[in-house]
Amino acid sequence: NAGVTQTPKFRILKIGQSMTLQCAQDMNHNYMYWYRQDPGMGLKLIYYSVGAGITDKGEVPNGYNVSRSTTEDFPLRLELAAPSQTSVYFCASSYSQLLNEQFFGPGTRLTVL
Amino acid sequence: GDSVTQMEGPVTLSEEAFLTINCTYTATGYPSLFWYVQYPGEGLQLLLKATKADDKGSNKGFEATYRKETTSFHLEKGSVQVSDSAVYFCAPGPASNDMRFGAGTRLTVKP
């Protein structure tokens, strides 16, 4: 099993550009999450999904969009990138809602200049 | 939603010192609780967990006991090593859109 994979590992964007961060998991997990981690800070939940076709906003959803067309994939879309979106983005997945042990991807480091 | 409050860092210890990182939770009922560790340049990985009150989770010499009377899940290790230098996060279950991780505690262990 590859676990949770994320692409790309690094990306530099110019202000106003758009991009999609890819996330995939091969563990047949229903729950998937996107977090951002600013330098020296904790994790903030951007969006989360309880299954294909179902997504919900987390703590900091503004400037982002997600879709969940399959159980495996959960891409995060940035429209009109801004410097405030410079961060490390982590995708995670879990099997159970109650015993919510999350498996994290390696992260995507995004810089917006 | 369920949330945790975690001791702020950074924490700097000498090798073989005793470690405690405090975590208290706010929740309806008694959710599962987790400690995750993040080594430099990596994603988070599960360190240990407790699924119900009075459970003790343990892994790699770390322990945490889920104490419902004090709503706490403090992380402890009797003798830290340089390789334990990392950021530690306390987190509650269950999954929800307002689930909140702890802020993270950076531990540096000096030889």
Compare all CA atoms of chain A with the CA of B94 and give the residue at the minimum distance. A98
Pairwise CB contact (< 8 Å): B44 & A104: yes
- B34 CB neighbours in chain A (<8 A) are 100-102
Contact B81, B109 (CB under 8 A): yes
Whole-number Å distance between alpha carbons of B87 and A111: 22
Residue range B37-89, pLDDT digits in tens: 999 888 899 999 998 889 999 999 999 999 988 889 999 999 999 999 999 99
- A96 CB neighbours in chain B (<8 A) are 94-95
Reported in sequence order, the residue ranges of A1-113 that DSSP labels E, i.e. its strands, are 4-7, 10-13, 19-25, 31-37, 43-51, 54-57, 64-66, 76-78, 87-94, 103-104, 108-112
How many CB pairs below 8 A link A and B? 72
Pairwise CB contact (< 8 Å): A42 & B42: no
The pLDDT of residue B8:
81
Whole-number Å distance between alpha carbons of A108 and A21: 8
Distances (CA, A) of A40 to A36, B43, B98: 12, 14, 22
The pLDDT of residue B97:
66
Contact B23, B102 (CB under 8 A): yes
Q: What confidence tier does B93 reach under pLDDT thresholds 50, 70, 90?
A: confident
- Answer whether residue B96 shows pLDDT above 80: no
Pairwise CB contact (< 8 Å): A97 & B97: no
Whole-number Å distance between alpha carbons of B51 and B91: 12
Whole-number Å distance between alpha carbons of B106 and B12: 8
Q: What confidence tier does B103 reach under pLDDT thresholds 50, 70, 90?
A: confident
- Answer whether residue B26 shows pLDDT above 90: no
The token pair at A9 is 């590992």
Closest to A11 measured CA to CA, from A91, A106, A112 = A112
Over chain B, what is the mean pLDDT?
90
- Answer whether residue B101 shows pLDDT above 90: no
CA atoms within 13 A on the CB side of A92: 26
Residue range A26-53, pLDDT digits in tens: 999 999 999 999 987 888 999 999 999 9
Over chain A, what is the mean pLDDT?
93
- A106 CB neighbours in chain B (<8 A) are 42-43
Helix, strand, or coil (residue A3) = coil
